[in-house]
Amino acid sequence: MKVAIVKYNAGNICSVVNALHRVGVSPLVTDNPEELLAADKILFPGQGEAKNTMAYLKEHKLDQLIRDLKQPVLGICIGQQLMCRHSEEGDVDCLGIFDVDVLKFRPQRHEDKVPHMGWNTLKQPKDALFKGFAEDEFVYFVHSFYVPVCEQTTAVTEYIQPFSASLHKDNFYATQFHPEKSGSVGERIIRNFLDL
């Protein structure tokens, strides 16, 4: 199986490479269109800022390439947010794969800290990514912006308000949390994605 990771100006790709190595896969990290189109599975991970990252994707013509992919694609963290319609982070239009906007967490109480960082639970997981899952599995988050619950939501997490922990539409899957940092639970999600 050929697994590719989209190479762009977002951090934290090394931890995804290491997570794939742990499940026996050696991914190709590339921004080469032909290599991405030839892959069986594609991951679009990273941490970063939406406006600068979208500018980079457009400059390198990766925005249209990602939209046109036909194989299973997994967006992680900023990858999920960039797959949405628009982000409040930098007030930027994104890829528009999911028809929903990314919003900034607005603390309601003194104890509401932003970014949302640490372990939290997945509620109502319903998707091939969560095959074999029970309610209230814990995964790891680091984010200041979130995707509201919408038609494409496949798992919900609550922090300040309920939000989309994961999304799915056609061949596009996305998680706000970091499977590569979520221990055995995250490893199951990665394996489930590779089995699609």
Active site residue 94: no
Provide CB contacts within 8 A for 32, sequence distance 6+: none
Q: Rg for the chain (alpha carbons), in Å?
A: 15
- Tell me how far apart the alpha carbons of residues 136 and 47 are, in angstroms, rounded to a whole number: 25
Is the backbone of residue 141 left (phi > 0), alpha (psi -120 to 50) or beta? Answer: beta
Q: What is the Cα–Cα distance from 135 to 138, expressed in whole angstroms?
A: 9
Catalytic residue selected from 94, 143, 168, 180: 180
Q: What is the SS3 string spanning 136-182? A: CEEEEEEECEECCCCCCEEEEEEECEEEEEEEEECCEEEECCCHHHC
Q: Which of 77, 94, 137, 143 is catalytic?
A: 77
Would you give the distance in Å from CA 147 to the centre of its chain?
Answer: 11
180 is catalytic: yes
Q: What are phi and psi of 107, to 5 degrees?
A: -55, 140
The two three-digit tokens of residue 184, written as one number: 């055995």
Q: Is 178 a catalytic residue?
A: yes
User: Could you list the active site residues?
Assistant: 77, 178, 180
